[in-house]
Structure 1
Amino acid sequence: MSEDRRLDVLRAIVSDYVSTREPVGSRTLVERHSLGVSPATIRNDMAALEEAGYITQPHTSAGRIPTDSGYRVFVDHLATLKPLTPPERRAIESFLAQAVDLDDAVNRTVRLLSQLTQQVAVVQYPSLRRSGLRHVELVLVSPDRVLVVLISDTGRVEQRMLELPTGTADLDESVVAEVRARINAAAVGRRMPALRTALEAVADDVAPTVAPVVRAVVDVVTETLTEDVEDRIVMAGTAHLARAGFDFSHTISPVLEAIEEQVVLMRLLAEMAAEQETPGRENNDVAVRIGVETRHAGLSETSVVAAPYGGASARDAVAFLGVLGPTRMDYPTTMTAVRAVARYLSRVVTP
């Protein structure tokens, strides 16, 4: 049997099943697709695909539907993704360009992605660990307290109150101004881990009376940029799952419970990000997990399509965004939308 023809038959089955939600039979394939072979040959090909585990027969005397493995082969053999039309690109660019700050950009993105794909959309906030520093602001609150404000190059803002160690000389505006200027000169544009080395060098280059202040500020900055609790996500479009309830074998409750635990999605996106950063995969700008590949029982009948944003590659990205929906998904269209939105969001959040 021709491997190319078997792949064509699988593509046809996936396409028909996604569009009709009905199991696909050999007669349907003959009528709808120009495969250039007889119905008997198609039946033989379908039997081989079923034996290989790529399609299955859900009911006696029914057609076939793709399995998770079948969808995986289909996705892995997508030669190209159909680009968005010029009006679609202009609409995305215009909508995201209207964002007034990072929160607005993230919220606009998640709503847009859900609308484009008719799936649950998920957007990670830019990770401080992956971001560079745009500015460190120090505000003198009292002689022994300073408000430290960190502004990342993606527009994320974090505030921490710093109480100086006992025995440190009282601060005044001139000392705060000096520390602010030196830290910004050393830190702006740097990412972890180069940031801490650069900041610690500042403490070695100031007067002994100022060095403890610098070290205290350095500790606050680096701790804030490395703490695990700073990652968060926003979601939109959960109602789309209810409309797709018939795509799940029993109930959508396990799916809803899984996505309500945001840590599940954050872990999944982190795993997908790590995979994209492995040698040989850095240029794959869209990642797909199908069914059991999500490694979570509640998501075993779903697929996740995700892409990095905020960098030239997954290794340089500041976060991921994506969509979650039933495995019976229009993968080419969904992957195109996710990739396009990630690219436009990158332009918004990176200087």
Structure 2
Amino acid sequence: MWGRRSVAPPASRPRDDHHNEGQYPGPNFQLPRGLERAALATKNNNGGAQVSERAQRFLKVLVERYIRDGQPVGSRTLAKDTGLDLSPATVRNVMADLEDLGLISSPHTSAGRIPTVAGYRFFVDSLLTVRPPTDNDMAEMRCRFGQPADLPALIENTSRLLSGLTHMAGVVMVPRHERTAFRQIELLPLSGNRVLAILITSEGEVHNRIVFTERHFSPGELERSSNFLNDMFTGQDLREVRKRLVEDLRRTHEHMDKLMMRAVQLAHEVVESAEHRDDCHIAGQTNLMEFGELSSLERLKQLFDAFSQKREILHLLDRCIVADGVQIFIGEESGYGLLNDCSLVSATYRVDEHFVGVLGVIGPTRMDYPRVIPLVDVTARLLSDALRQQ
């Protein structure tokens, strides 16, 4: 059974994020060992023989050609591209062997062949030759990450960067924080019976909430309420703060006047909205319209609905955060039906040696893996650098 594979950095280049910022290993970069260059022995359902070196060469050329052109590859084209002096009968026999192994298929009776999910997986695990980012790619990445930005802007810029470099959809999970603490709250009067509640967390995140009240509160009353809340909760874990607020609201406090009770209610509303909820930023969804296999209106509608709702996308990213390095899901390996025609190449990023999020690229199964994998890997490293410097 074919499953996802993890890509860890090679032994000569441990993934510790203390590399020189913006640099890449260079032209001698090798496929990370986590991609597990499988023993070149793929068996068919009947326990068949190994994939011969000749068949591997044909498969590599076929996959690369199909990635480039998006058209089924015929025997004549394949024979020419491999550079082997073989008879048409020999070429047909090799193609038949690959088809029997489930690595290629024919979309139409008279058409050429295309890779299956199993074929892509064999290619990625065993035949892939990655291409390091070009100088122009690296210059653009350094430029994007060299600009000062707060956390939301940094996440958005990173997803746009991935989308722009790959011409597919870039996705970045908002970082998780092991512990987010209450730093400060400020309550400000607005027109009518409205109050602006501003909460600042230990991570520097600012959360705003406009709350309608039963009466108008003066600036002095709101200042006293803010001081009361800050004295109670500054430095405490946000989850504990919310728990205490809920308990306070459930109990009747004879020692707490109506103003303070209203302050607790206001704080509860803004803290509840600020509590961490997984989210991600997706950019470049419309790029997928350029790929014929994804361009039907019904298919695009389903994909855009998935991107809009994010729930399943987040669940898939959540599965990636537990492993270091690059993760690759091809077609139905994701377990998410709407992505059966797509692949995800993702990588974790970290802060202070803790994995806090995942970023990646979503595109068709015939995405340019040799180019996309190192781009995702380097982007994750640069995002880790940027977060560490914040």
TM-score, normalised with respect to structure 1: 0.71
Distance 1:311 1:30, change over 3 A: farther
Q: Does 1:267 align with 2:311?
A: yes
1:317 aligned counterpart, secondary structure: strand
**Structure 1 residue 340 and structure 2 residue 383: aligned?**
no
C-alpha contact (below 8 Å) 1:55/1:66 kept by paired residues: yes
The residue correspondences of 1:220-231 to structure 2 (distance < 5 A) are 220=269, 223-226=272-275, 231=279
**Contact 1:109/1:123 (CA < 8 Å) preserved in 2?**
yes
Distance in 2 separating the partners of 1:221 and 1:130? 20
Matched, 1:325 2:363: yes
Give the counterpart of 1:184 among 208, 214, 234.
Answer: 234
Preserved contact between residue 286 and residue 339 of structure 1 (Cα < 8 Å)? no
CA contact (8 A) 2:324 2:347 kept: no
SS in 2 for 1:3: coil
Mapped partners of 2:203, 2:290: distance in 1: 35
Please state if 1:307 is matched with 2:357: no
Which residue matches 1:286? Answer: 327
Q: Is the 8 A contact 2:175 2:356 kept in 1?
A: no
Q: Compared with structure 1, are the counterparts of its residues 200 and 29 closer, same or farther at alpha carbon in structure 2 (3 Å cutoff)? A: same
1:165-204 equivalences in 2 (<5 Å)? 173=223, 176-177=226-227, 179-180=229-230, 183-187=233-237, 195-197=238-240
Q: Is the counterpart of residue 253 in structure 1 residue 297 in structure 2?
A: yes
Letter in 1 for 2:65: D
Match for residue 38 of structure 2?
none
Residue among 129, 133, 139 paired with 2:187: 139
For structure 1, the 5+ residue unaligned runs are 188-194
1:116 partner letter? L
Aligned partner of 2:41 in structure 1 is none
Deviation at 1:165, TM superposition (A): 11
Asked if 1:3 corresponds to 2:43, the answer is: no
- Change in CA separation of 1:215 and 1:8 when aligned onto 2, cut-off 3 Å: farther
Q: 1:316 aligns with which of 355, 375, 381?
A: 355
Q: Is the 8 A contact 2:327 2:347 kept in 1?
A: yes
Per the alignment, do residues 260 and 273 of structure 1 end up closer, same or farther by CA in structure 2, a change over 3 Å counting?
closer
- Name 2:291's counterpart in structure 1: 244
- Residue 116 of structure 1 deviates from its aligned partner by 0.8
Classify 1:178/1:89 alpha carbon distance in 2 versus 1 (closer, same or farther; 3 Å). Answer: farther
Residues 242 and 300 (structure 1 numbering): CA distance in 2 closer, same or farther, change over 3 Å?
Answer: same
CA contact 1:110–1:123 (8 Å) conserved in 2:
yes
Residue 295 (structure 1) aligns with: 336
Query: Structure 1 residues 4, 221: CA separation in 2 closer, same or farther (over 3 Å shift)?
Result: farther
1:191 counterpart residue number: none
Superposition CA RMSD, Å: 4.3
Displacement of 1:152 in angstroms is 5.2
Structure 1 residue 55: Cα displacement: 0.3
| 1:172–1:156 distance in 2 versus 1, CA, 3 Å | closer
Moved more, 254-263 or 37-46: 37-46
Q: Which segments of 5 or more consecutive residues in structure 2 lack a partner in the other structure?
A: 1-48, 249-254
- Matched letter for residue 341 of structure 1: T
CA distance in 2, matches of 1:263, 1:94: 27
TM-score where L is the length of structure 2: 0.65
CA contact (8 A) 2:170 2:361 kept: yes
How much has 1:331 moved relative to structure 2? 1.6
Query: 1:79 & 1:312 partners in 2: Cα distance?
Result: 32
Shift of 1:275: 2.1
Q: Is the 8 A contact 1:276 1:284 kept in 2?
A: no
Equivalent runs, 1:81-230 vs 2, <5 Å: 81-124=130-173, 126=174, 132-133=180-181, 135-141=183-189, 147-151=196-200, 156-161=205-210, 173=223, 176-177=226-227, 179-180=229-230, 183-187=233-237, 195-197=238-240, 209=256, 219-220=268-269, 223-226=272-275
Distance change in 2, residues 1:64/1:79 (3 Å): closer
Q: Distance in 2 between the 1:102 and 1:68 partners?
A: 37
Q: 1:90 to 1:48 in 2, by over 3 A?
A: same
Secondary structure in structure 1 of the residue aligned to 2:326: coil
* Post-superposition offset of 1:333: 1.2
Contact 1:23 1:63 (C-alpha < 8 Å) held by counterparts: yes
Indicate if the aligned counterparts of 1:309 and 1:346 stay in contact, CA closer than 8 A: yes
Residue 316 of structure 1 aligns with an amino acid whose one-letter code is F
> What is the CA–CA distance in structure 1 between the aligned matches of 2:122 and 2:52, rounded to whole Å?
12
Aligned to 1:190: none
Contact 2:103 2:117 in 1 (8 A): yes
- After superposition, the C-alpha distances for 1:23-75 in whole angstroms (9 at most, x for unaligned) are 23444444333679887665444322211222012233443110122223323
Amino acid at match of 1:283: D
1:138 is paired with a residue of what secondary structure?
A: strand
Q: Tell me the CA shift for residue 122 of structure 1.
A: 3.5
Helix, strand or coil for the counterpart of 2:162? Answer: helix
Report how many residues are paired: 326
Amino acid at match of 2:305: E
Q: Does 1:235 align with 2:283?
A: yes
